[in-house]
Structure 1
Amino acid sequence: MGFFDALFGRTKIPEGKTDQLFALSTALLDLETRLDSTFAGQAAIILRTVDNSGYESLEKDVQQILTLGGKDMPVTAHHVDDQQGYRWIVFEGKDPEDVINALHLTADMLKQAGYGDSLLAAMFAFTPSWYLIYTYRRAAFYPFVPQLSHRRDQAREFRIAQTLKPFMPIEKDPERWYALWDPPL
């Protein structure tokens, strides 16, 4: 924040931090063995909606890169705008490493194009029916276990967090474990 920003009370939204995403790659084996969970083949980046042609061009570039990756990165991506006004870039692929790499590459492209402050979170689907959410601004993960009627299994969330804590950065404040209901994953 610059001098005039401080003087006039303006705050700048920090850019998202993407490098901690790779902690998930190293924790995948622990997820399978300690939690009996597997990657469900889907992940997403959640963004504040951006309305301009530069952003649409960037989405086309992402599609092109994933298409060019072909056999090396067999991941598909599409975007969904939800009812709350957020944009989801949804990635699908069998190999979690490929999906993590595609997601990280896309987040870095967004940052380089000036949309780093629009990055909110990344969400990874696991079976049986839970999600791991990465908050870009806090560079930490937290579990989300939805149940029917927009309720959460908080006991299971705490068990998952405690299991993963030695292997990846877990958000320390459970008040910041925001629910992302009805994800398009």
Structure 2
Amino acid sequence: MGLFDTLRSVLGVNAEAGATRDADPEDLFGMSTAYVTMEADLDFVPAGAAALCFSAVDSTDFDAAVDEVETILHAGQEETGTEFYHREDDHGYHWVVLEDDDPEDLVTSVHFAADTFEEADFGSRLLAAVFGFVRPRDDRRAYWVYSFRRGAYYPFVPTGSHERDSRIEFKLAAVLDGELDVEDDESYWYPLWPDGDGHPWE
């Protein structure tokens, strides 16, 4: 199974079939307090970036929903300074990437984007919201991934080319469980490998 098929399976069809609860964009606001815990208890600070991953559909209504998302983010950019861009990766998935030093602004912007898709009846196209962190002492990156098909978060800590630090992932899950709705089935902790050395959306 190739990377494209695996991603579609884990964050898409299989995850939807095995869903234990409905996804809710309001869950994204849990990251507002998780940022504080990540820094105070785990020494990970916000990386100043987050992203929303979705799959497209050939539809004028869907195109209109994407345009509305970009219009909302443009308006927010003037108010909060949150920069954003929209890109399609090598596997055909789309990412709305947000950059801001204020984690509250990132959470709010990701929520606005996700909620806009939901209100336009395209919530089923949402795959994941990804929030980036970094540990200053060694530049170790960590991510919290919200799976819309599972309605839950899971940690992802890459250490190199297709390698991950499971020890740190379990520690993050243990500390944040209760503050976030952490996915209890580790088979759904899917690694979102970046194309290079950057973030998963790069």
Shift of 1:108: 0.7
1:168 is aligned to 180
Cross-structure match for 2:197: none
What's 2:107 paired with?
Answer: 100
SS at match of 2:54: strand
Whether 1:27 and 2:44 are equivalent positions in the alignment is no
Q: CA deviation at 1:140?
A: 1.3
- For 1:158, the aligned partner's letter is F
Q: How many residues align?
A: 174
Q: How far 1:92 moved relative to its partner?
A: 1.2
1:140 pairs with 2:152: yes
Give the TM-score taking structure 2 as reference length.
0.79
SS at match of 2:190: coil
Letter of the aligned partner of 1:134 in structure 2?
Y
Specify the structure having the higher radius of gyration (Cα). Answer: 1
Residues 74-126 of structure 1 deviation map (CA, whole Å, 9 limit, x = unaligned):
21221111122211111111111111111101111111112110111100110
**Which residue type is aligned with residue 62 of structure 1?**
V
2:77 counterpart of 1:65: no
Percent identity, aligned pairs only? Answer: 37
In structure 2, C-alpha distance between the alignment counterparts of 1:137 and 1:18, rounded to whole Å: 12
User: Is structure 2 residue 119 aligned with structure 1 residue 112?
Assistant: yes
Q: Secondary structure at the match of 2:101?
A: coil
Name the residue aligned to 1:90: 97
What's the C-alpha RMSD, in Å, of the aligned pairs?
Answer: 1.9
What displacement does 1:157 show? Answer: 0.6
Which whole-Å CA distance do the structure 1 matches of 2:83 and 2:59 have between them? Answer: 23
Any gaps of 5 or more consecutive residues in structure 1? Answer: 1-11
Aligned-partner SS, 2:96? strand
Equivalent position SS for 2:95: strand
Secondary structure at 2:121 match in 1: helix
Q: 2:44 maps to which residue?
A: 37
Residue 154 of structure 1 and its aligned partner are, at CA, apart by 0.8
Tell me the residue number matched to 1:123: 130
Q: CA deviation at 1:71?
A: 4.8
Q: Which runs of 5+ in 2 are unaligned?
A: 1-15, 136-140, 195-199
Aligned residue type for 1:163: V
